[in-house]
Structure 1
Amino acid sequence: MVVDFTSSATPNLPQVRRLEAVSFRAWPAASVQYDGSWQIRLTGGHPSKRVNCVVALDRSDTRDIRLRLEKAARKFESYGRTMVFRETPLAPPQVVDVLREDGWVRFDESLVMSLDLSLMPDHDVMDHLPTQDIGRFVDASLTLRNEDDASKPALAELISNIKPPLGLFLIEQPDNGPVAAAMCVQDNDLAGLLQLAVGNAYRGQGTGFELTYAALRWARIRGAKSAWLQVQADNEAALALYRKLGFQEAYRYCYWRQDGEA
């Protein structure tokens, strides 16, 4: 399914700035450098694009676009990574024009969704308390995502570097291992939902809804007023789940890479 990046409603730029800031704290890069208002995020041990990308944070910052892209690309090369540019509503249109003119390819569109937690309806589902066992959570997350165990140290380090309070939520079966996992990061009055994963055998049974609701309820009890999350635009199952909880689209973002780069 292809979703038109320009089809979403005009975003609220102050809200975008705040959600971008809390998302950076909720999923922190190992190295953050600035070139003007451009943020260069790099993490040698973990491949996530959100911690390995260039993000422009001011629509008026349009000087020396090609030169700055070249300088950023060299920083990525020093990390053994191919540079990607993350386009949000804060990115100057002139930068996007240059990327398009120079043959860059746009990919992986995502929605940022938000929810007023005071409007979240009550649901009669089982409650789940968070664990603080990062190793156990990482093991479960990798298993549910069918990802290589070799990435465990990098993911554990990334989660350990999160500064705001967080809850790690798991549903497990004694004989069959992890069923679902989710992480909730509470940054003052905002709660971010990340890393939701449900085992293939348990999808479509309400398990993801149960664990997500438990995480949001935990954040609300702790004083969070609003929640946010990021989800790929073509993930229909996840979108249906989040909309059922009351989440609505706040804005969209996508990535750009040079043509021919994987």
Structure 2
Amino acid sequence: MEFTMGGRLEVRITPADVGKRVSVRRWSDGPGVGSKFTDTVGVLTSWDDHVVTITPKSGETVHIAETSLAAGKVVPAAPARRRGPAASFDELARITARAWQPVESEPLGDWRLRAANGFTRRANSVLPLGEPGLPLDEALDRVRRWYGDRGLPAYVQTATGAEGTQERLCAELERRGWQREVSAEVRLAALAPLGDRDADTGRVRLSRDIDAAWLSGYQRSRTPGPELLTVLRGGPSVWFASVPGDAEGGTPAAVGRCVVDGRWAGFMAVEVGQGHRRQGLATAVMTALARRALDEGASAAWLQVESDNGAAGALYDGMGFAAHHRYHHFRAAGRDAGRP
């Protein structure tokens, strides 16, 4: 990172640059001979009361005292990814949302309030694509009431790390005491190489619907309710995969779900039973689903993986999936936040 101009470090950003992507260097222990620097790149989300706030692609807001700034400048948007299909954040946000359709939803301006009796935050959070049509505090009050009426915690799903994502909204939520609980990556890959993998798909069974056996292999369905079935079955073109376990009709060795939506195939709910791991079953499930999605005309793949799930991240790295952006679930704090 280079800040010098004529041999000097310069702060070339001002409060007028809020909303732009910037690179800053700050003194870690105060200016002076031998001082160390810390560099931060992200969106300048506020500059108030002599404190500079920057939200990097990780979504973890950084607060910097003005007096600690050694250098700063506006930088271009992050370079385009070199692997996988091209896609905008807005397109992916709508595609991924259609794969986790709620039981009920309601518009709030350009925001969408979604609920499914608590099954998966992706179907029980606000999708804020655009403006809510109200001042932010009023909109968030409406959000709290809507989820509180349903006995649910209020969540807002935001995104960081790509052009058009919501770093400023992340910072505003944090400023109001909302807590970031979960962060995950949206990853993309070309679909054809997935379908071409040399995987043993002979045992993989594909179906348009799920049964009790499939649900027993899905770790999130220990106490399934009708909302779980509604969410999992929802989507433009949904396929379920399973690999039989040791007993016919018993818990599958592996399961998976794929939602085909135009050129996109989304992979989710890929689970392998404890006694069947390291046998290539996750790869077999995804390969079989990819081949079916290719038959339906899809050409691009996406999936979501939590940022701290190293094992799954390594598997998807090997399959050619590259990170596009991150998304986060912010939960309202305080007594009006709804049930835990």
- Using the size of structure 1 for normalisation, the TM-score is 0.86
- Count residues with an aligned counterpart: 254
Partner of 2:142: 71
CA drift at 1:259 = 3.9
Partner of 1:26: 99
* Partner amino acid, structure 1, of 2:145: R
* 1:168 counterpart = 2:240: yes
Partner of 1:82: 153
* 1:5 counterpart = 2:54: no
* 1:221 counterpart = 2:277: no
Which SS does the other structure have where 2:119 is aligned?
A: coil
**Which residues of 2 match residues 179-218 of structure 1 at below 5 A?**
179-218=253-292
Distance 1:208 1:120 in 2: 12
RMSD of equivalent CA atoms? 2.8
CA drift at 1:203 = 2.0
**Which residues of 2 match residues 33-44 of structure 1 at below 5 A?**
33-44=106-117
CA drift at 1:129 = 4.2
Distance 1:253 1:208 in 2: 24
Bigger mean CA offset, 245-254 vs 31-40? 31-40
Distance 2:235 2:180 in 1: 32
Distance 1:78 1:111 in 2: 31
Partner of 1:100: 174
Superimposed CA distance per residue, residues 132-182 of structure 1 (whole angstroms, 9 cap, x where no aligned partner) = 33224xx4234441742x31432222233x241121100012426311100
Partner of 1:133: 209
Q: Which runs of 5+ in 2 are unaligned?
A: 1-55, 61-77
CA drift at 1:240 = 1.2
* CA shift in 2, pair 1:68/1:178, >3 Å: same
* Partner amino acid, structure 1, of 2:58: F
* 1:56 counterpart = 2:141: no
Aligned 8 A contact 2:157 2:330 in 1: yes
- Using the size of structure 2 for normalisation, the TM-score is 0.67
* CA shift in 2, pair 1:42/1:133, >3 Å: closer
Aligned 8 A contact 1:66 1:98 in 2: no
Distance 1:197 1:249 in 2: 21
Distance 1:4 1:187 in 2: 27
* Partner amino acid, structure 2, of 1:32: S
Question: Which structure carries more helix by proportion?
Answer: 1
- Identity across matched positions, percent: 25
Partner of 2:229: 156
